[in-house]
Structure formats: structure tokens, C-alpha cells
Chains A and B, each alone.
Chain A
């Protein structure tokens, strides 16, 4: 093996000197190169969650519909008829910031493998994206290539991209966010877990061959801040092959359908090291792997390189020795490499061999369980962390100009230029397409529906990490309510800066507290998720961005709600608000170039949940024509969105207010724009605050506010709403 690596090598791989000493204690000797490489990955932030694990333990994870909680490849909830929905969101932020096309593509590939590793057929992808302002050439490049990468992978593998979100804010300029969520369906009795078991069973690697791509992705890329030499990190980004993954997916599902497997696990960050040791840890066994048997792209790869490679499109399974030939035959049918590379043992150790010669031996528990966990040292910052955004709207702008500016703001404008680059209909389940409703809706075999939404609002979380995160979870549930769905479970991706800094630790701590409180109140337990830390560039941290994905259920998919106004003459109502909305941290405040406030108005969570229940019931009853959650841009922007989605105008007569700007453009959770027969809206008013103030019709949005009148034609609205189209020439 030559000379042993020392503490300097450990630090170069991302471990601290103290962690290196701990590794030496665990082994009773200094680690060799293979062992040190394995520890550096398994003890990285990305794999060990060493700065967030203690916080994550505070989150609610149990509920009547939960089939699988955190800890497996994905979470899963029961959706009736013996079916479960597996789902999870994951980030690929750092790779995407370095190489957006492959970074985003392999982000989709990775989350899909997490889903079919449970035996579930992936049925949908959503994505949550954050970039700097589109006025920046770099942001436009990242957006264009990330969207192309997501489409390239999802479209090619036959899984529809049915929803998502994108926001543009200065603090994401260097460090963009690319989070991908996937859902899968599987019969409850066919769910497979990743725990290796059965001493003497074979460990089979199948899928793509192993190369030098992605070496150090977890430790070098995902667990450190960005600096000036990031182009040099490009070789750490993996390259995806959706065709290989499509074969791998079909092969995995056929292996499971034939009952050939004991356990299944995908290879993601930290490659073979992570997959094999996680399988061994969950099964409380040991595993011997012979890296000499691994099919390689380059013949001269060292054992440590084989163990840490993040080559994409690979899976690891455990099967009985007598089944190996059948497993390999299924692999051959789908034209994927399949190779028995190891054995389940009773040693409790990961033993790495090369052609039978031992090249590394580590106790599984030391790798998986013994990474030191760190307490955060949160410290509320004394001053604001983020500079105010540049003002793009005059202080003296009219209400009409403000409405058009908001409808055309990159954060509000139509997402169709992105969505039409994605296949949203393959697999024949999509009942509500992107831009048709606040949540995507898929039909299930029994006539029920599955609704899903993914949401985040970094600016509001930056203004108030606790309240902003509560609002994020509530908005996700509100989007489900608008199609008539009730949340069953939640997944989340916590995108934050460097947690070793007090102010980031404070953001993270407050956000997790808010997420836990909101999901407990909603009865939407968190069944899985991911943490992405160290999202900082030279100019500072990103906005703290917890991204929340929720899956919900509709009893009758034929009654799935829509956001667009549907019928001339329908009444229009504002539903839900118990207090006036505020312009603090709103989209309008951003356009005006205002600095973030220190704190948001508190939220009456129980009230908001009650409003959501009332709207959900109204949608389910079929009594109303449309429902839309009021979010960025406030009430009038929401009405304009209903007009655009339905191709119908509206005439509103509002009661004069002393604060018309707040009334029209303020933001606050718990508000909805609902249309339908007047009697249905009045019936809704018996449960929650309802203010009927207008009628659907015509080809313009007309608003009367005391003496003031605002009139904007649908064509003008549509023109402004199309602001993102020029970004995709």
C-alpha cells in the first residue's frame, strides 16, 4: 500500500484533525488510503448530517398514513387500495452551480433511483429552482442549462415533470439551488427495504460501469462553500445517462416483480462506500466487497477510487446465492451490467478486497454511526445579512403600473416557457397540468387522485426564519386545498449556508422549529428529506430556503380544482384573511428595492388550517368553479392569475381602504381567490371570512376602489405575464 496517509491528507479530504484522530481511535491504528477515503465520505456533512441531525430529530415523522419514515431511500404514505406513494426531494445545488446541465440532470436521476430503490415505479418529478436575477448573464445561463438538464433526463426516462417552482433573487447568484422531487407508486406488500441480511447472501452491483467521474462529490463539492477556483471542481460533477437509467429502472422493477431480491439500494453520493455500508448498517451485518470484480471504465483505477466513485446509474442488491444466475439473466435482458461483487458476512465489518487480497477493513458502525454530531451555536444576527435588492419600480408608480410590474416580475411571470420543455403527460395520469391549478393532480386506479406541490420562499424566510418557514408549509398545504386535496405527508429540503456560523445556525434552528410546528398542526408528518448546507458564495450566504413538498389525496379526481375563472357571471370572492396583509418582504417591496424587515407578522396557524379545510371541502363538493391561493404579489395579482388561466376578465368593486396598496398587493398566509355561484360562496362564508366583491366576465380586469379605477386588458396582462419567454430564445 505504500506509506499511510496522514492528518494532512485527511484534512484535504474534508475531515477535521479531531475527526482524523477519532478515526485512528476507532480503528486502533491510522487508516490506509482506502479506509480514509471511506471515512472522509461517510463522515462528510452530506452523508452524516453531522450539523443537522440533532435538529432533524425534533421533526414530526409519524402519522396514520405513514408507511415509511425518514431513514430509507424515500418516505412513503398509504394512498388507499393497497397502494403506497413513495416520495422525496433532494438537492443537487453545488454540482448545478458548477455544471448546470449535468448537475440538474443527475439530480433528477438520483432522486428517481431513490424512488425505484423502494420498488416503486416513478410516476412524477417536480423541481424547485433558485437563481440570481435574470438580468445577470450567469443566471440566465444557469437557468437555461438547468432546465435543459432536467428535461433531458426526465423526458428521456418517461417520467412526467408535473410541477415545480422557480425564483430569482440576488443571493442565489453564485450558488443556485436545484432541488428535485420524485414520486413513485408501489403496492404496499411489494415495498423493499435496503437492509442487507442473510449471511452468505450475494451482493450484486448492476447498471453502469464505474469510472473516475464524481470522485469526491459529497465531500469536496457538497460539504464546502464556493470559492474562486470552482471551475476546477467541474470533474467532481457526475455525468448522467438517462437511457442507462431507464434500463436500470425497468430491470430493478422486474427483479422485484420476480421476487429475486432480499434488499435493494441505489448508489448516490459516496457511491459504493455509502450504499454498501448503509445496507450493512441497517441489516446489522458485515459485507465483503471485491473491487477487483467491479466493471470499470478505466482499467487502472485504484481500490479507493472504485469505492468513492459517484458514477451514475448504478444499483446494489442482495440476493440468495442460488438466485444470482436469475438476477444476472434479468440484467442481461435489459442490457445492463450485472456482477456479483461481494457477500453478506457476520463480521459487522466492511472488508474491501482486490482479487481476494484485503485492502481495507472498517467496522460498519464506525463508518455509519460514530461520526461525531455537532451542536449548532445559533446566534441571532444583530443586523440584516442581505443587501436590499435594486429598485425596479418607481415609488410613484400607479396601481396599474404596479400590477403589470408584478405580473411580469420574474418571480410571478408565467412558468410555461419552462414547463413546455418538460413532458408532463407520459404515463397517462396527469389530470391537472402545470399552470392549470395550484397543485398538480394525478389520477389513481380507484378513481381517487394524488395531488402534489412543492414550495419555498427564501426571501420571507430570510426576513423571519420561523414564521417564513411556517408560511412555506402552509402555502404548500394551501395549494393542495385548491385542488381539493388534504396533505398526507411532507418531504423537505433544507438549503442553507454554512452552519458553523452563528447566524446561519440561527436561521436553520428557527426554520426547523417552524417546519416542525407547521407540519404537526397540519397533520402532515415529514417522511423524508435532505439537507444542503454550505450554500455560500464569495458575496455571502443564500437566502435560507427550506423547500417543502407535500403529497395529498382527493377522494374524487373528477372534481379536482382549477385556478382559472371558468364561467361568465360567476361571483368572485376573497376568502380567509383574518387580518390585513402586509407589504413587508412582499414581492412589491422587492420591486421597490426595500430592505428585508426584521420579522414578519405572526400567523394564526389554526385559523389558516380552518380556511384551507373550508376551501378544500368547497372544491370537493363541486360547488365552486375555481380556487387559487394568494401568494407572491398579493390579492390583485392572484385575481389577475385567475383571469389569465381562465381567459376571462373580471370586474371588482372593493371597499375603500385607508391602505389600498397593502389591500391589493400585501402578502399573508390564509387568503384565497375563489369563484363560483354566489350562493356557494355565501355558504362558504358561514365557515370562514368571505368577501364577495366582483363578477367574472369581459376581456379586462377592472377594479374599482372608491374613486380610483384600474383597468387592464387581458392582452396587456398576458403580455406582461410572458416575461420569461425571452429567456428561452
Chain B
């Protein structure tokens, strides 16, 4: 299993994502300027501030060469995970439904919180079970997921903030969603920062183990 971790100028959590992927497989960086996924089996778009995000989060990154390759990969069913800024980029690119708005509190929040697995049927959640709670940190300024009410019934919700712990005011406490096929998943909390008990939690490992297990079983 080989993961590719996309790096834009301004990406911050790429080493953390490499570390997480490295726990269950091999991992390498994919440069934003190259429309080449180097034959990886799964793509992770990590957190940070792609191109500074001064225009609107993810708005510039979606036009990068690497994203054209990621879009093609996603359309063919390849597993793609967007974390935080990666989630924002995938929404901007139209690969995931909805949009991310500024937190209700209008501040950056960094907090360890619990999220509930709602959909264990995606390639990124197969190793988890529905209803399972994961202790994972969230850190963002623009994490309030929103979709128009008319579209909500069709959205595949993958994670929700548990125990009234919604940190950003997202619609229906949504923390992460998938595309209809389930192969593209995005979430605001950071599973790559929950892979070692020494640093607080191991609950994020399941997301990275899921596609690795799926591939091994295929």
C-alpha cells in the first residue's frame, strides 16, 4: 500500500500525514506543481494553508496541476482523504458536497474532541464501526461545514461531533462527509494527530488502516 501526501506551498501537516500513513504502509510527498500521482494507491490532502488561503480557503489550490490528477484519480474510484485544509480543497474542487465557512466563534480553535463514526462503509472507515467514538484533535478557523437544506438528504455524512462538542457550528454537527461513491472523504478534525498514545490518542489510525486493509484484502 502506497500513500501519496499532497504538498502545496503553505501546507503545514504533511509530515504528520506521512507519519500516519507510514504506520500502515509506504508514503511519499506529491508536489503541487506536478500533475503526477506517481502511481500511489491512495491520496491524502493534509492540513495547512494552501497558497496562504488569502482568497478563500482552498480556492486557489483546486486549480493546481496536482489537483487535476487527484480529480481524475477520484473519478476512477481511487481513495482520497482530505483533512482540514484538504477537506476545504476537495469541497472547492467539487469532489465533496458543501462548503466550509468561518467558525461561528470567528477564532482559531485547537481542541481534543470526540467524533462519532456515522458511515463505516467508505474505504477510509472500513476498519471502524458505525457509532464508534474517536478522540481526535481539531484545529481550524474555517471549519463550519455547510450545505443548503435541499441537498442535505443526499449528503453522505461520515463523521459527526459527539456530546454537543461541535466546535465550529457546522450544519447537523457534521465533522466529515464523503462523495456518493464513498471513495472521497473529507473531515475537519485531524486523524493524523491521533496515532500515538504518547501524544494523546491512537483513534485516528483506523482511517489510515482502512484503505490499507481494503487493498490487502482485495
Contact = CB atoms under 8 A, between A and B. Distances in A.
Given A151-B108, A246-B10, A728-B107, A423 B139 contact: yes
A247 B11 CA distance: 10
Nearest to B31: A333
Contacts of B152: none
Contacts of B141: 155
B23 to A, nearest CB: 11
A157 interface: yes
Interface stretch (A426-434, A451-459, A697-705): A426-434
Contact of A426 (B13, B53, B196, B198): B13
Contacts of A158: 11-13, 48
B41 interface: no
B198 A558 contact: yes
A151 B51 CA distance: 18
Interface string B11-48: 11101100100000000000000000000000000011
Interface residues of A, number: 34
Contact of B198 (A242, A424, A443): A443
Given A151-B108, A425-B139, A430-B199, A247 B193 contact: no
B9 A427 contact: no
Contacts of B107: 148, 421, 728
B15 A431 contact: no
A671 to B, nearest CB: 29
A422 B110 contact: yes
B9 A246 contact: yes
Contacts of B49: 156, 242-243, 246
Contacts of A148: 107
A126 to B, nearest CB: 15
A621 interface: no
Interface string A365-396: 00000000000000000000000000000000
B52 interface: yes
Contact of B51 (A152, A243, A250): A243
A243 B54 contact: yes
Contacts of B108: 151-152, 155, 421-423
Given A155-B139, A243-B51, A419 B110 contact: yes
Interface string B52-74: 11100000000000000000000
A425 B51 CA distance: 21
Contacts of B19: 428
Interface string A128-170: 0000000000000000000010011001111000000000000
Given A155-B139, A728-B107, A335 B198 contact: no
A428 B48 CA distance: 14
A63 B157 CA distance: 57
A420 B111 contact: yes
B10 A423 contact: no
Interface string B173-192: 00000000000000000101
Contact of B9 (A151, A334, A557): A334
Contacts of B123: none
Given A421-B109, A422-B110, A424-B110, A557 B198 contact: yes
Nearest to B109: A420
B16 A427 contact: yes
A210 to B, nearest CB: 20
B98 interface: no
B97 interface: no
A79 to B, nearest CB: 18
B52 A243 contact: yes
A433 B139 CA distance: 14
Contact of A423 (B51, B110, B195): B110
Residue picked from A157, A419, A422, A428, most chain B C-beta under 10 Å:
A428
Contacts of B137: 425
Residue picked from B10, B111, B141, most chain A C-beta under 10 Å:
B10
B200 interface: yes
Interface string B136-148: 0101010000000
Contacts of B51: 243
Contacts of A155: 108, 139, 141
Given A158-B13, A335-B9, A427-B16, A433 B111 contact: no
A419 B107 CA distance: 12
Interface in A241-289: 241-244, 246-247, 250
Given A422-B110, A728-B107, A247 B9 contact: yes
Given A157-B12, A243-B10, A428 B52 contact: no
Nearest to B52: A243
B12 A426 contact: yes
Interface of B: 9-13, 15-16, 19, 47-49, 51-54, 107-111, 137, 139, 141, 190, 192-193, 195-196, 198-200
Given A156-B49, A425-B110, 20 more contacts: A156-B52, A158-B12, A158-B48, A241-B52, A243-B10, A243-B51, A246-B9, A246-B10, A246-B12, A246-B49, A250-B9, A421-B109, A425-B199, A426-B12, A426-B47, A428-B15, A428-B192, A428-B195, A429-B199, A430-B199
Interface of A: 148, 151-152, 155-158, 241-244, 246-247, 250, 334-335, 419-431, 433, 443, 557-558, 728
5 contacts: A155-B108, A155-B141, A158-B48, A419-B110, A428-B15
- 3 shortest A-B CB distances, which residue pairs? A158-B12, A243-B52, A428-B16
